[in-house]
Amino acid sequence: MGRNLVLARAGRNSLHEGWLDPAKPRNWDLRLAPYQAIPQQSDSEYVVGDVMPGPKWSGLRTVLNEWDGWRDYDYIWLPDDDIRADQDTVTTMFEVARAVGLELFAPALHESSYYAHFITMKNASFYGRWVGFVEIMMPGFSRPALERLLPTLDLTVTGWGWGLDSLWPKLLDYENVGIIDGTPVTHTRPVGEMRDLELARRVVQESDAILEANDCRQMHTTYAGFGPDLKRIEMSPERFLVELVKGSEYLIDRDPRVLSWLMDYQKPLFRWPEYPVAGTP
């Protein structure tokens, strides 16, 4: 048994087959919690649970509360089924999370991905970053962190989970939360598509309620970075900001607003000088 677990809600169009390479060793096991019936080869190197229709997080809440097998693992990754990744990338992601001591983490999104939050995209300046936000798209947890955060899944009546990704880092005191830029994966479908307008209203309302009740917000702040040696990169706050911007240049080129968003979230880490306004004493 691997020391790590990939537990994914999956449907007929799931990309999970591409995550595996039987010819190579890996340090993780794969278990699917399908939301619709999916075919499985007799020699498949993964386990398929019972079909549970419905959204991702309602299904995962049921699995995590009714199946204790996940507690035998050190780290658990809960990706969407439209993530394109290979086996070695997932293996390395787990190795990095363990070595750095991350409690909540995710691989960065490849430059070609559909995305909703700029902080989730790969930053070319770093191998990984300590951050204030890990999206619900594909969070990974240490077992103790998942045990601690499991009750929060009861807050998402809709099962979509919006808002939980702002709450989790706060409950962990924004410590040991990371995005691993050196193990990028690709999100292959557009984000946030909801044809049911009433459902969309309830999902947003639920998210707002979670944030208000817990006095938290999305913290798209990067606190520090580490290199391929998995050690913290020591630099002045000013140099760190420069490197952070450089690593996101491809995003800024596509949408200049990213620079403004990035600067706004980094401001609390700096004491910006008070420059006089023209015409004032």
Which pLDDT belongs to residue 272? 52
Cα 171–chain centre separation: 16
Residue type, 171: L
Regions of the chain with pLDDT less than 70: 1-2, 42-43, 192-193, 271-281
Please report the pLDDT score of residue 269 as a whole number.
Answer: 85
Residue 47 and residue 30 in contact, taking contact as beta carbons nearer than 8 Å: yes
Give the per-residue pLDDT at 271: 61
Which pTM was predicted? 0.93
- Residue 275 tokens, joined: 């420059």
Domains and CATH numbers, the chain: 4-268 (3.90.550)
The neighbour count for residue 229, using CB atoms within 10 Å, is 9
Spatial separation of the C-alpha atoms in residues 241 and 223, rounded to whole Å: 10
Neighbours of 219 (CB within 10 A): 19
What pLDDT score was predicted for residue 51? 95
pLDDT for res 42? 62
Which three-class secondary structure string do you get for the chain?
A: CCCEEEEEEECCCCCHHHHCCCCCCCCEEEEEEECCCCCCCCCCCCEECCCCCCCHHHHHHHHHHHCHHHHHCCEEECCCCCEECCHHHHHHHHHHHHHHCCCEEEEEECCCCCCCCHHHECCCCCCEEEEECCCCCCCEEEHHHHHHHHHHHHHCCCCCCCCHHHHHHHHCCCCCEEEEEEEEEEECCCCCCCCCHHHHHHHHHHHHHHHHHCCCCCEEEEEEEECCCCCECCCCHHHHHHHHHHHCHHHHHHCCHHHHHHHHHHHHHCCCCCCCCCCCC
Which pLDDT score is estimated for 278? 44
Residue 269 falls in which region: left (phi positive, over 0), alpha (psi -120 to 50) or beta: alpha
Q: What is the pLDDT of residue 193?
A: 67
Q: 50-58: long-range contacts at Cβ-Cβ below 8 A with a sequence spacing of 24 or more? A: 54/159, 55/158, 55/159, 55/160, 55/161, 56/9, 56/80, 56/136, 56/159, 56/160, 56/161, 57/136, 57/153, 57/156, 57/159, 57/160, 57/161, 57/164, 58/156, 58/159
